[in-house]
Amino acid sequence: MTAPVCLISGVGPGTGSALARRFTEGGYRVAILARNETRLAALEQQLPGAKAYRCDVSDPAQVEAVASAVERDLGNPAVVIHNAVGGAFGTFREIDSEILNRNFQVNTMGLLYLARRFAPAMIAAGKGAIVATGNTSALRGKAGFAGFAPTKAAQRILAEAMARDLGPQGVHVAYLVIDAVIDLEWTRKRWPDRPDDFFIKPKAIADEVWHVAHQDRSAWSFNVEIRPFGEAW
Protein backbone atom coordinates (compact mmCIF):
# COMPACT_ATOMS: atom_id res chain seq x y z
CA MET A 1 0.00 0.00 0.00
CA THR A 2 1.33 3.43 -0.94
CA ALA A 3 1.98 5.74 1.99
CA PRO A 4 -0.34 8.76 2.20
CA VAL A 5 0.95 12.27 1.51
CA CYS A 6 0.84 15.31 3.80
CA LEU A 7 1.68 18.82 2.59
CA ILE A 8 2.75 21.43 5.13
CA SER A 9 3.28 25.13 4.37
CA GLY A 10 5.39 27.46 6.48
CA VAL A 11 7.86 24.87 7.70
CA GLY A 12 10.18 26.67 10.11
CA PRO A 13 12.15 25.57 13.18
CA GLY A 14 9.10 25.34 15.45
CA THR A 15 5.59 24.16 14.65
CA GLY A 16 6.26 23.43 10.97
CA SER A 17 9.19 21.13 11.69
CA ALA A 18 7.28 19.43 14.50
CA LEU A 19 4.37 18.80 12.13
CA ALA A 20 6.70 17.34 9.51
CA ARG A 21 8.24 15.00 12.07
CA ARG A 22 4.86 13.91 13.47
CA PHE A 23 3.39 13.03 10.10
CA THR A 24 6.59 11.30 9.00
CA GLU A 25 6.47 9.21 12.18
CA GLY A 26 2.84 8.45 11.37
CA GLY A 27 3.78 6.90 8.04
CA TYR A 28 3.21 9.83 5.68
CA ARG A 29 5.42 11.06 2.89
CA VAL A 30 5.66 14.76 3.67
CA ALA A 31 5.97 17.71 1.31
CA ILE A 32 7.54 20.58 3.25
CA LEU A 33 7.07 24.11 1.92
CA ALA A 34 8.79 27.33 2.95
CA ARG A 35 10.69 30.26 1.51
CA ASN A 36 13.95 29.35 3.31
CA GLU A 37 15.67 26.72 1.14
CA THR A 38 18.58 26.13 3.54
CA ARG A 39 16.28 25.24 6.41
CA LEU A 40 14.17 23.02 4.20
CA ALA A 41 17.18 21.14 2.88
CA ALA A 42 18.41 20.37 6.40
CA LEU A 43 15.03 19.06 7.50
CA GLU A 44 14.60 17.03 4.31
CA GLN A 45 17.80 15.15 5.17
CA GLN A 46 16.49 14.32 8.64
CA LEU A 47 13.12 12.94 7.60
CA PRO A 48 12.88 9.80 5.46
CA GLY A 49 10.33 10.22 2.70
CA ALA A 50 10.15 14.01 3.05
CA LYS A 51 10.66 16.29 0.07
CA ALA A 52 11.32 20.02 0.24
CA TYR A 53 9.84 22.69 -2.02
CA ARG A 54 10.61 26.39 -1.97
CA CYS A 55 7.29 28.23 -2.12
CA ASP A 56 5.79 31.59 -1.24
CA VAL A 57 2.15 30.63 -0.70
CA SER A 58 1.00 34.21 -1.33
CA ASP A 59 1.94 33.73 -4.99
CA PRO A 60 -0.67 31.61 -6.82
CA ALA A 61 1.77 30.82 -9.63
CA GLN A 62 4.26 29.36 -7.13
CA VAL A 63 1.51 27.38 -5.42
CA GLU A 64 0.42 25.92 -8.75
CA ALA A 65 3.98 25.01 -9.76
CA VAL A 66 4.74 23.37 -6.42
CA ALA A 67 1.39 21.57 -6.32
CA SER A 68 2.11 19.99 -9.69
CA ALA A 69 5.59 18.99 -8.52
CA VAL A 70 4.23 17.42 -5.32
CA GLU A 71 1.65 15.43 -7.26
CA ARG A 72 4.36 14.26 -9.65
CA ASP A 73 6.88 13.38 -6.93
CA LEU A 74 4.67 12.08 -4.13
CA GLY A 75 1.02 11.98 -5.20
CA ASN A 76 -2.15 13.77 -4.13
CA PRO A 77 -1.99 15.01 -0.51
CA ALA A 78 -4.47 13.39 1.84
CA VAL A 79 -3.73 16.11 4.42
CA VAL A 80 -2.90 19.77 3.77
CA ILE A 81 -1.74 21.92 6.70
CA HIS A 82 -1.50 25.68 6.18
CA ASN A 83 1.03 26.79 8.77
CA ALA A 84 2.65 29.69 6.90
CA VAL A 85 2.12 32.97 8.70
CA GLY A 86 2.71 36.66 8.15
CA GLY A 87 2.51 39.00 11.14
CA ALA A 88 3.33 42.51 12.34
CA PHE A 89 2.66 44.55 15.45
CA GLY A 90 1.20 48.05 15.55
CA THR A 91 -2.05 49.95 16.02
CA PHE A 92 -4.27 50.77 13.05
CA ARG A 93 -2.68 54.25 12.89
CA GLU A 94 0.85 52.88 12.90
CA ILE A 95 0.69 49.81 10.70
CA ASP A 96 1.95 50.02 7.14
CA SER A 97 -0.98 49.20 4.88
CA GLU A 98 1.31 47.27 2.56
CA ILE A 99 2.43 45.04 5.44
CA LEU A 100 -1.19 44.40 6.42
CA ASN A 101 -1.95 43.39 2.84
CA ARG A 102 1.15 41.18 2.71
CA ASN A 103 0.04 39.37 5.84
CA PHE A 104 -3.42 38.89 4.36
CA GLN A 105 -1.89 37.40 1.22
CA VAL A 106 0.08 34.85 3.24
CA ASN A 107 -2.45 34.00 5.92
CA THR A 108 -5.76 34.10 4.06
CA MET A 109 -5.03 33.98 0.35
CA GLY A 110 -2.39 31.31 0.89
CA LEU A 111 -5.06 29.11 2.46
CA LEU A 112 -7.39 29.82 -0.44
CA TYR A 113 -4.77 28.94 -3.07
CA LEU A 114 -3.77 25.69 -1.37
CA ALA A 115 -7.36 24.59 -0.74
CA ARG A 116 -8.53 25.37 -4.26
CA ARG A 117 -5.63 23.40 -5.69
CA PHE A 118 -5.86 20.27 -3.56
CA ALA A 119 -9.54 20.02 -2.56
CA PRO A 120 -10.76 18.63 -5.92
CA ALA A 121 -8.65 15.47 -5.57
CA MET A 122 -9.85 15.04 -1.98
CA ILE A 123 -13.48 15.42 -3.11
CA ALA A 124 -12.91 12.83 -5.82
CA ALA A 125 -11.43 10.46 -3.22
CA GLY A 126 -14.25 11.17 -0.78
CA LYS A 127 -11.81 11.90 2.03
CA GLY A 128 -9.07 14.26 3.12
CA ALA A 129 -8.25 16.94 5.67
CA ILE A 130 -7.28 20.61 5.46
CA VAL A 131 -6.06 22.18 8.71
CA ALA A 132 -5.06 25.81 9.27
CA THR A 133 -3.00 26.77 12.30
CA GLY A 134 -4.24 30.01 13.82
CA ASN A 135 -4.02 31.83 17.10
CA THR A 136 -5.94 34.03 19.50
CA SER A 137 -5.82 36.95 17.07
CA ALA A 138 -8.35 35.07 14.95
CA LEU A 139 -10.89 35.66 17.73
CA ARG A 140 -10.15 39.18 18.97
CA GLY A 141 -8.56 42.41 17.77
CA LYS A 142 -6.28 43.93 20.39
CA ALA A 143 -4.93 47.43 19.82
CA GLY A 144 -1.38 46.47 18.90
CA PHE A 145 -2.40 43.65 16.56
CA ALA A 146 -4.06 45.69 13.80
CA GLY A 147 -1.57 44.40 11.23
CA PHE A 148 -2.21 40.78 12.11
CA ALA A 149 -5.57 40.06 13.74
CA PRO A 150 -7.71 41.09 10.72
CA THR A 151 -5.83 38.62 8.54
CA LYS A 152 -6.13 35.74 10.99
CA ALA A 153 -9.83 36.44 11.58
CA ALA A 154 -10.37 36.38 7.82
CA GLN A 155 -8.41 33.14 7.64
CA ARG A 156 -10.61 31.52 10.27
CA ILE A 157 -13.84 32.62 8.55
CA LEU A 158 -12.54 31.38 5.20
CA ALA A 159 -11.75 28.04 6.82
CA GLU A 160 -15.26 27.88 8.27
CA ALA A 161 -16.80 28.58 4.88
CA MET A 162 -14.61 25.85 3.42
CA ALA A 163 -15.62 23.43 6.18
CA ARG A 164 -19.32 23.94 5.50
CA ASP A 165 -18.72 23.44 1.78
CA LEU A 166 -16.33 20.50 1.89
CA GLY A 167 -17.62 18.61 4.94
CA PRO A 168 -20.66 17.11 3.16
CA GLN A 169 -18.28 16.03 0.40
CA GLY A 170 -16.13 14.01 2.79
CA VAL A 171 -13.32 16.51 3.36
CA HIS A 172 -12.61 17.64 6.91
CA VAL A 173 -11.56 21.28 7.38
CA ALA A 174 -10.45 22.44 10.82
CA TYR A 175 -8.99 25.57 12.42
CA LEU A 176 -6.54 25.25 15.31
CA VAL A 177 -6.44 28.28 17.61
CA ILE A 178 -3.10 28.30 19.43
CA ASP A 179 -3.79 30.44 22.49
CA ALA A 180 -0.23 30.47 23.76
CA VAL A 181 3.37 31.49 23.21
CA ILE A 182 5.12 28.79 21.20
CA ASP A 183 8.37 27.48 22.67
CA LEU A 184 11.00 28.81 20.25
CA GLU A 185 14.48 30.26 20.59
CA TRP A 186 13.29 33.83 20.00
CA THR A 187 10.29 33.54 22.33
CA ARG A 188 12.54 32.23 25.10
CA LYS A 189 14.73 35.31 24.66
CA ARG A 190 11.70 37.61 24.71
CA TRP A 191 10.31 36.03 27.90
CA PRO A 192 13.50 34.86 29.64
CA ASP A 193 12.00 34.70 33.12
CA ARG A 194 8.97 32.60 32.23
CA PRO A 195 8.82 28.99 33.42
CA ASP A 196 8.74 26.08 30.98
CA ASP A 197 5.02 25.55 31.41
CA PHE A 198 4.30 29.09 30.20
CA PHE A 199 5.12 27.96 26.67
CA ILE A 200 3.29 25.56 24.40
CA LYS A 201 5.49 22.85 22.89
CA PRO A 202 5.62 22.56 19.09
CA LYS A 203 5.45 18.78 19.43
CA ALA A 204 2.24 19.07 21.44
CA ILE A 205 0.73 21.29 18.72
CA ALA A 206 1.73 18.73 16.10
CA ASP A 207 0.16 15.91 18.12
CA GLU A 208 -3.13 17.80 18.24
CA VAL A 209 -3.08 18.53 14.51
CA TRP A 210 -2.47 14.82 13.93
CA HIS A 211 -5.46 14.00 16.14
CA VAL A 212 -7.74 16.49 14.38
CA ALA A 213 -6.68 15.28 10.93
CA HIS A 214 -7.58 11.71 11.88
CA GLN A 215 -10.85 12.19 13.72
CA ASP A 216 -13.70 9.81 12.98
CA ARG A 217 -16.02 11.52 10.53
CA SER A 218 -18.92 11.04 12.94
CA ALA A 219 -17.21 13.47 15.34
CA TRP A 220 -15.32 16.08 13.35
CA SER A 221 -14.12 19.27 15.06
CA PHE A 222 -13.81 22.63 13.37
CA ASN A 223 -12.69 25.26 15.87
CA VAL A 224 -10.11 23.65 18.17
CA GLU A 225 -8.42 25.73 20.90
CA ILE A 226 -5.25 24.65 22.68
CA ARG A 227 -3.36 26.40 25.47
CA PRO A 228 -1.05 25.55 28.41
CA PHE A 229 -2.86 24.54 31.58
CA GLY A 230 -1.87 27.75 33.35
CA GLU A 231 -2.95 30.14 30.58
CA ALA A 232 -5.62 32.62 31.71
CA TRP A 233 -8.49 32.86 29.27
7-43 pLDDT per residue, tens:
999 998 899 999 999 999 999 999 999 998 888 998 9
Q: What is the pLDDT of residue 214?
A: 98
Q: What is the pLDDT of residue 103?
A: 95
Q: What is the pLDDT of residue 39?
A: 84
Burial of residue 168 (CB within 10 Å: 0-12, 13-18, 19+) is exposed
Please answer whether residues 40 and 111 qualify as being in contact, where contact means their C-beta atoms are separated by less than 8 angstroms.
no
Q: What percent of the chain has pLDDT over 70?
A: 100
174-208 pLDDT per residue, tens:
999 999 999 888 899 999 999 999 999 999 999 99
Q: What is the pLDDT of residue 88?
A: 86
* Per-residue pLDDT band at 75 (split at 50, 70, 90): very high
Produce one character per residue of 151-166: b if its CB has 16 or more CB atoms within 10 Å, e if not: bbbbbbebbeebbeeb
DSSP 147: T
- Mean pLDDT, the chain, rounded, equals 95
Residue 1 has pLDDT above 80, yes or no: no
Q: What is the pLDDT of residue 160?
A: 98
Average pLDDT for residues 83-100, to the nearest whole number? 92
- Global pTM reads 0.95
DSSP 107: I
Q: What is the pLDDT of residue 131?
A: 98
| Residue 152 CA: distances (Å) to CA of 20, 145, 188 | 22, 10, 24
* Per-residue pLDDT band at 231 (split at 50, 70, 90): confident
